[in-house]
Amino acid sequence: MRISYEEMHKELTRILIKHGLERERAVLSARLFADASRDGIYSHGLNRFSAFVRAIELGDVKVDAKPTLDADLGVIERWNGNRGPGNLNAYACMQRAIALAHEHTFGVVGLKNTNHWMRPGNYGLMAAEAGCIGILWTNTLPNMPPWGGQDAKLGNNPIVFAIPNGEDPVLLDIAMSMFAYGKLESYARQGRELPVDGGFDKEQRLTRDPAAILETQQALPFGFWKGSGLALALDLVGAAISGGRTTCEVGELPRETEVSQVFMAIDLRRMPDSEAYAKKVKTTLQDLQTAVPRDPQHPVTYPGQNMMRVRRDNLLHGIPAEEAIWNAVKEM
């Protein structure tokens, strides 16, 4: 089924107000969920909303909590999320990183004690729309074994790179695992097998069964040892900048909360060669797309290239939604 953007936003706002968010904060949080689904990131939009509401009901998300400044270190600031709504905390900290970049060219905000930020690409787009390169990442609970190990000791620690390019920015939004857990949940609900191996089952065998991976919480690092090593590095650097928990320490809690995140912005407009750089971006992307495709039906694209096409289609025809998920939300 398809739901209009306006109806989805209105319904999510209603539910968040019912669960204690101030109207203005509920409107923004609901928009961030709806924007994710609008842009085709269904796993971290409407599909993740019920989990967010459950986290509120369990007390993991404090609806009234707002981020507070812990330390001003010049171009770097440390903020405490106070276990508030993850997407609102992330939005505020990306705003702050952009403001620092506008002032100093480079701005960094470390955020501790926060919750799942839902679709991180939302915050990368904020940077690109402000004329900045955005680099941001988070750690998670332990949900991925280190390369060569059998126990989940690493987080799959998603990272985003956003690079301005007019109406079609480069937007790389990836986890350190082959598949994000939201994507695994989507495949499992639909009873579909993964296209490639995505993790380990109870017998420690590589599998394409998303339900088996969700059961073990042992996703496969992308690039095998490379994804494993990068996940560890992001975790340790993120904890250093934010002053918050590492994945190991998040794993000591009953559920995933109090994670650590980093938001970086680089204001390209303050660079002396900003116009020349913008031309380099366009030239590079044009050259990339001249590569002969392995499948003629699927031309080579850059990360984020299809987002605006999907957005326009979903705004025109409605956002695709799984009927059971939409009905469950409507009943809240």
Choosing from 19, 44, 102, 104, the catalytic residue is: 44
Tokens 């009901």 correspond to 57
Residue 116 known to be catalytic: no
Residue ranges of alpha helices (H) inside the chain are: 5-18, 23-38, 46-58, 86-104, 121-129, 181-189, 210-216, 225-242, 247-250, 274-288, 307-317, 323-330
Q: Are 258 and 273 in contact (CB under 8 A)?
A: no
Question: Could you tell me which residues come within 8 angstroms of residue 8 by beta carbon, excluding any fewer than 6 positions away?
Answer: 33, 34, 37, 46, 319, 321
* Short-list 268, 264, 235, 304, CA closest to 135: 264
SS3 call for 36: helix
For residue 170 the two structure tokens come to: 């480069």
What one-letter code names the amino acid at 294?
Answer: R
Tokens read off for 211: 């339900």
- 196 burial via Cβ count (<10 Å: 0-12, 13-18, 19+): exposed
Quote the CA–CA distance of 127 and 9 in Å, as a whole number.
Answer: 23
Distance CA 127, CA 102 (A): 11
Q: How many CA atoms does the CB half-sphere of 57 hold within 13 Å? A: 9
β pairing state of 76-80 and 106-114? parallel
- With b for 16 or more beta-carbon neighbours within 10 A and e for fewer, the 129-166 pattern comes to ebbbbbbbbbbbbbbbbbbeeeebbbbbbbbbbbbbbe
- DSSP states along 47-78: HHHHHHHHHHHHTSS-TT---EEEEE-SSEEE
Active site residues: 44
